[in-house]
Amino acid sequence: MECLVIEGGNKLEGELNISGAKNAALPIVMASLIGEGVSVLDNIPNLRDINNLIKILKSLGAEVEYQNNKLKVNSDSVNKFEISYPLANKMRASYYALGALLARYGQAKTSLPGGCEIGSRPIDLHLKGFEALGASVSIDHGMVNLKADKLTGAKIYLDYPSVGATLNIMMAAVKAEGKTIIENAAREPEIIDLSNYLNVMGAKIKGAGTDIIRIEGVDNLKANDYTIIPDRIEAGTYMMMAAITASDLSINNVLVEHVKPLIAKLIEMGATIEEDVNSIRVIGNNQLNAVDIKTLPYPGFPTDMQAQFMALLTQAKGVSMVVETVFEDRFAHVDELKRMGAKIKIDGRTAMVNNSKLTGAKVKATDLRAGAALILAALVAEGRTVVEDIYHIERGYEDVIAKIQKIGGNITKINC
């Protein structure tokens, strides 16, 4: 097993570059299967999830080359439409094969997806959407089966603005006959990124980024090249890293509008923020104030930043309240932070966080963002922290060790 070893207490300084967005890259890579021919996708982060996705694409018969953050996909050789359990259960995004394969081949079969264990994470909204477009849906022995001789546009109201359901239904609908309208759609930047890519392949999608998405079906999509947006959650994590260590960091290759909810909270806490066109400088200090947050769909405070922000709140003066509304079970990091001395009390979906002195300990990354929160806590803790189960962190943070070392953090990977 590999672990991270972090010695806390260093001030960080300098600049770092943000990688392409995992949660945009995953659906976009899968959507490359819809376009006929070869797509070259740029700014694809080198992550465990992306490498798993490449295995999935190859298992379906696609030709894939990946080098220097560029991914070339030739979708024309796809000749299988089923993803096995060991491939699907390693990641959430395996379910995007449902929308993509249904659109291009009228059939798809996959085991129910994996991903971070942060709640029950059903896919009922995805399946209702596919059914509304005319697909038959069945679940046998844990495998989801979709079949459609023909897809027809429909009006689909999502009970909740699910990111995955919006992306999946958007993919399935691009070649459906007639018009599809997705109401109460998710508005995350990753939805806009997928819509832009599908549109450069010839799709007719309007309204991505608002809660009503309109799709006019077309006969065919032709593969095209595309560059993925920067990762707002990776950017946010390094913003919190500057604040928790009371350091001065410049974070480059960020779309500032995507991290506005985080900027607002850091300013409320008393950090100094300087915004430029594509970069943000965060200057922390030792006098941060307690604040409250409630996670919400975009443009609210992102649930994918809740764990990292909670680590930061342990260093604020006073008591902060964190309410998690998106996932019903996303506080697994609390017990691990408590091992490091964090004073946090949980009541249902609410956590009360007190100012705490953190000390290094042996902890485990229970999921991706929990792992990131532990790195943040360890960088400010007294002494040495050893983080286990770091494969979760490698699902979502490209070159995390090199990036933190570059700005002066004492972090290494060991066999443990």
Ligand X SMILES: C=C(OP(=O)(O)O)C(=O)O
Q: Which residues make up the interface to ligand X (CB under 6 A)?
A: 23, 91-93, 115-116, 118, 304, 368-369, 396
Report the partner that residue 119 touches, choosing among ligand UD1, ligand X, none (CB closer than 5 to 8 A by kind).
Answer: ligand UD1
Q: Is 364 annotated as a binding residue?
A: no
Q: Is 125 annotated as a binding residue?
A: yes
Q: Is 123 annotated as a binding residue?
A: yes
Q: Is 92 annotated as a binding residue?
A: yes
Least distance CB 408 / ligand UD1 (angstroms) = 29
Tell me whether residue 215 or residue 370 sits nearer to ligand X (CB atom).
370
Q: Is 355 annotated as a binding residue?
A: no
Tell me whether residue 223 or residue 373 sits nearer to ligand X (CB atom).
373
Backbone torsions φ then ψ of 282, nearest 5 degrees: -115, 125
Q: Is 205 annotated as a binding residue?
A: no
d(CA 142, CA 159): 24
Report the partner that residue 320 touches, choosing among ligand UD1, ligand X, none (CB closer than 5 to 8 A by kind).
Answer: none
d(CA 174, CA 213): 12
Report the partner that residue 226 touches, choosing among ligand X, ligand UD1, none (CB closer than 5 to 8 A by kind).
Answer: none
Task: Give the SS3 label for residue 87.
Answer: helix
Least distance CB 327 / ligand UD1 (angstroms) = 5
Q: Is 285 annotated as a binding residue?
A: no
Least distance CB 393 / ligand X (angstroms) = 11
Report the partner that residue 126 touches, choosing among ligand X, ligand UD1, none (CB closer than 5 to 8 A by kind).
Answer: ligand UD1
d(CA 104, CA 414): 44
- Residue identified by tokens 């090199």 is 402
- Residue 216's identity, in one-letter code, is E
DSSP calls for 135-172 = -EEEEETTEEEEE-S--B--EEE-SS--HHHHHHHHHH
How far CA 18 is from CA of 234, 237, 397, in Å, comes to 7, 10, 10
Q: Is 219 annotated as a binding residue?
A: no
Tell me whether residue 193 or residue 304 sits nearer to ligand X (CB atom).
304
d(CA 279, CA 16): 10
- Residue identified by tokens 């300098």 is 14
- Residue with nearest beta carbon to ligand X: 115
Tell me whether residue 118 or residue 125 sits nearer to ligand X (CB atom).
118
With b meaning 16 or more CB within 10 Å and e meaning fewer, what string describes 324-352? bebbeebbbbbebbebbbbebeeeebebb
d(CA 352, CA 343): 8
Report the partner that residue 33 touches, choosing among ligand UD1, ligand X, none (CB closer than 5 to 8 A by kind).
Answer: none
Least distance CB 297 / ligand UD1 (angstroms) = 7
How far CA 67 is from CA of 27, 40, 188, 254, 322, in Å, comes to 19, 11, 28, 22, 40
Catalytic pick among 6, 26, 116, 307:
116
Tell me whether residue 26 or residue 215 sits nearer to ligand UD1 (CB atom).
26
Least distance CB 76 / ligand UD1 (angstroms) = 26
Tell me whether residue 93 or residue 201 sits nearer to ligand X (CB atom).
93
Where on the chain is the footprint of ligand UD1 (CB under 6 A)?
23, 26, 92-93, 119, 121-126, 160, 162-165, 186, 303-304, 326-327
Strand 384-388 and strand 362-364: the pairing is: parallel
Q: Tell me, yes or no, if 416 is annotated catalytic.
A: no
Q: Is 263 annotated as a binding residue?
A: no
d(CA 400, CA 409): 11
Report the partner that residue 369 touches, choosing among ligand UD1, ligand X, none (CB closer than 5 to 8 A by kind).
Answer: ligand X
| Secondary structure tally for the chain: helices H, strands E | 14, 24
Least distance CB 239 / ligand UD1 (angstroms) = 17
d(CA 277, CA 400): 24
Task: Give the SS3 label for residue 293.
Answer: strand
Least distance CB 411 / ligand UD1 (angstroms) = 23
Tell me whether residue 22 or residue 109 sits nearer to ligand X (CB atom).
22
Pair 94, 114: CB distance under 8 Å: yes
Report the partner that residue 396 touches, choosing among ligand UD1, ligand X, none (CB closer than 5 to 8 A by kind).
Answer: ligand X
- Residue with nearest beta carbon to ligand UD1: 164
Q: Is 282 left (phi over 0), alpha (psi -120 to 50) or beta?
A: beta
Give the catalytic positions in this structure: 116
Instruction: Cite the annotated binding site by residue number.
Output: 22-23, 92, 121-125, 304, 326
Instruction: Cite the annotated binding site for phosphoenolpyruvate by residue number.
Output: 22-23
Instruction: Cite the annotated binding site for UDP-N-acetyl-alpha-D-glucosamine by residue number.
Output: 92, 121-125, 304, 326
